[in-house]
A and B are shown apart, each in its own frame.
Chain A
Amino acid sequence: MAEEIRMTEADTVAPDASPAEDVLELRLLTAGPVTGPVDRPLVDHRLDEL
Chain B
Amino acid sequence: MNEPLNISTPADILAYVPHMLGETPKESFVLITMQGNALGATLRLDAPLCFEPKAFAQTVVSYATADEAATGTLLVIYTDENTTADPRPFSEYVQALRIELETARMPLKDAWMVTSEVWSNYLCMDPVCCPERSLDEITNSSGNAALIYRGSNVTGFTNPEPFTGEAAARETIAAHKPDGWPENTEARRAQWAELLQNPKGLTHEAALELAGALQHPITRDYLMADTITNAPDQFTSVLLGVFVARPDWTRVDTAQELVFELMKVTPDGQRAPMLSVIGWIEWLKGKSSFAARYFKLALEDVEGFRFAELMADLVNRGLLADCVRDPKKAYTRP
Task: Name the prevailing secondary structure of the B interface residues.
Answer: mixed
- Asked if A43 contacts B42 (CB within 8 A), the reply is yes
- Asked if A34 contacts B317 (CB within 8 A), the reply is yes
Q: For B320, what are the chain A residues with a Cβ–Cβ distance below 8 Å?
A: 38, 40
A48–B332 alpha-carbon span in the complex (Å): 15
Q: For B286, what are the chain A residues with a Cβ–Cβ distance below 8 Å?
A: 39-42
Measured CB to CB, the nearest residue on chain A to B179 is: A15
A44–B317 alpha-carbon span in the complex (Å): 26
Could you tell me how many residues of chain B have their Cβ less than 8 Å away from some Cβ of chain A? 67
Q: For B318, what are the chain A residues with a Cβ–Cβ distance below 8 Å?
A: 32, 34-38
A-B contact count (CB 8 A): 159
B188 within 8 A of A: no
Q: For B8, what are the chain A residues with a Cβ–Cβ distance below 8 Å?
A: 49-50
- Asked if B307 contacts A39 (CB within 8 A), the reply is no
Select B39's contact among A19, A21, A43, beta carbons within 8 Å.
A43
Measured CB to CB, the nearest residue on chain A to B20 is: A41
A49–B40 alpha-carbon span in the complex (Å): 10
Task: Name the prevailing secondary structure of the A interface residues.
Answer: loop
- Asked if B285 contacts A50 (CB within 8 A), the reply is no
Q: When each residue 7-46 of chain A gets 1 if its CB lies under 8 Å from chain B and 0 otherwise, what string results?
A: 0000000011111110111011001111111111111111
Which interface residue of A21, A41, A50 has the most chain B CB atoms within 10 A? Answer: A41
- Asked if A24 contacts B311 (CB within 8 A), the reply is yes
Tell me the smallest distance from the CB of A21 to a CB of chain B, in Å.
5
A5 within 8 A of B: no
Select A47's contact among B4, B239, B288, beta carbons within 8 Å.
B4
B63 within 8 A of A: yes
Measured CB to CB, the nearest residue on chain A to B215 is: A16
Stretch at the interface among B121-129, B190-198, B216-224: B216-224
Q: For B288, what are the chain A residues with a Cβ–Cβ distance below 8 Å?
A: 37-40
B43 within 8 A of A: yes
A27–B314 alpha-carbon span in the complex (Å): 8
- Asked if B314 contacts A31 (CB within 8 A), the reply is yes
- Asked if A46 contacts B240 (CB within 8 A), the reply is no
A37–B296 alpha-carbon span in the complex (Å): 12
Select B6's contact among A17, A36, A38, A49, beta carbons within 8 Å.
A49
- Asked if B5 contacts A49 (CB within 8 A), the reply is yes
- Asked if B150 contacts A28 (CB within 8 A), the reply is no
Question: A35-B59, A45-B327 known; 15 other A-B pairs, CB under 8 Å?
Answer: A18-B217, A18-B307, A19-B221, A21-B310, A23-B240, A28-B313, A31-B314, A35-B46, A36-B316, A40-B42, A40-B320, A41-B286, A44-B152, A46-B1, A47-B2
User: What are 7 A-B contacts defined by CB distance under 8 Å?
Assistant: A15-B179, A34-B318, A39-B43, A41-B42, A41-B330, A43-B41, A49-B5
